[in-house]
Amino acid sequence: MENLQDALLKSLETGFIDQKIISSHEYLPQLLINDSNNGKKVLTTIDWELKKCDEFWFSVAFVTTSGIATLMNTLLELQENGIQGKILVSQYLNFSQPEALKNYLDLRI
């Protein structure tokens, strides 16, 4: 049985270099888009992935109170279950809202 690092590397090779390489479907990179024709939403995918994670890391251009609010229940569940995570936020055009950052910091995840 291959270890997690090997499985991730193989899936990255499949997704970005050569689709003929056999790898785990679970780790294949995906483009997340809102696709109303197929009932897929970015938020639903993020929420589902968060609910099955051991930890999480996000890198985002900015954060808003409405953005945090859409994930707040899931983030609270993660906090209750001791799941830790980090969100790296840039100051893209000074768009991040200080209140949103404070809301996230208050979670202590």
Range of the domain at 37: 31-107
Please report whether residue 96 resides in a domain.
yes
Please report whether residue 24 resides in a domain.
no
Please report whether residue 39 resides in a domain.
yes
45 vs 83: CA distance, rounded Å: 18
Please report whether residue 40 resides in a domain.
yes
- pLDDT at residue 14, as a whole number: 95
- pLDDT at residue 79, as a whole number: 92
Nearest residue to 53 (alpha-carbon basis) of 33, 82, 94: 82
Using 50 as the pLDDT threshold, list the residues of the chain that sit under it: none
- pLDDT at residue 104, as a whole number: 84
- pLDDT at residue 1, as a whole number: 54
Please report whether residue 12 resides in a domain.
no
60 vs 101: CA distance, rounded Å: 12
Please report whether residue 91 resides in a domain.
yes
Please report whether residue 1 resides in a domain.
no
Helix (H), strand (E) counts: the chain:
4, 2
What's the pLDDT tens digit per position in 17-31?
999 999 998 889 988
- pLDDT at residue 106, as a whole number: 83
Please report whether residue 20 resides in a domain.
no
- Please provide the DSSP assignment of 21-67 as one string: S---GGG-------BTTTTB-HHHHHHHHHHT-SEEEEEES---HHH
Q: What is the pTM of this model?
A: 0.74
The domain total for the chain is: 1
